[in-house]
Amino acid sequence: MIKLTFFLDSRDSLKQSDEVELELFNSIFDKEFQESYLFIKEEQIVLDAFYLEDSLEPFLKNDEVMRLLKKDGSKALPITLQGEKIISTKKLPSVDDFSKIFDMGISVQYSDEG
């Protein structure tokens, strides 16, 4: 099982993320991706996303997240945990991070259109 937990400031702040990282973040929440991954890798993906704008409670329940927030304030967000381990702060996981997490190559195609 792959368990990822995202601690985020707000839905609005996500729009300021790197376009590719944001697209990957959104795609892993897609039910079809999760079902395909389970079929191919025989491993379930469990995802949680907590927004500070919604509730402080999930943040308060995690000592490491609270430690980072006390140190850096909301600038520490987004914070990503894989299991109980913090794997990314101040930004969403990168393409390389997601490749390692899901043990598969991820390629990105960029359009020449502006």
Looking at the domain assignment, is residue 68 inside a domain?
Answer: yes
From the CA atom positions of the chain, what is the Rg in Å?
15
Looking at the domain assignment, is residue 41 inside a domain?
Answer: yes
* pLDDT band at residue 88 using 50, 70 and 90 as cut-offs: very high
The CATH number for 40's domain is 3.40.30.10
Question: Are 96 and 21 within 8 A, CB to CB?
Answer: no
Locate 66 and state its tokens: 């609270």
Strand partners, 8: 51
37-84 pLDDT tens trace: 999 999 999 999 999 999 999 999 999 999 999 999 999 999 999 999
Containing domain of residue 91, as a range? 2-102
Total count of domains within the chain? 1
Cα distances from 97 to residues 21, 54, 73, 109, in angstroms, run: 10, 27, 24, 17
23-39 pLDDT tens trace: 999 999 999 999 999 99
Looking at the domain assignment, is residue 17 inside a domain?
Answer: yes
Collapsed DSSP state (helix, strand, coil) of residue 93: coil
Looking at the domain assignment, is residue 40 inside a domain?
Answer: yes
Looking at the domain assignment, is residue 97 inside a domain?
Answer: yes
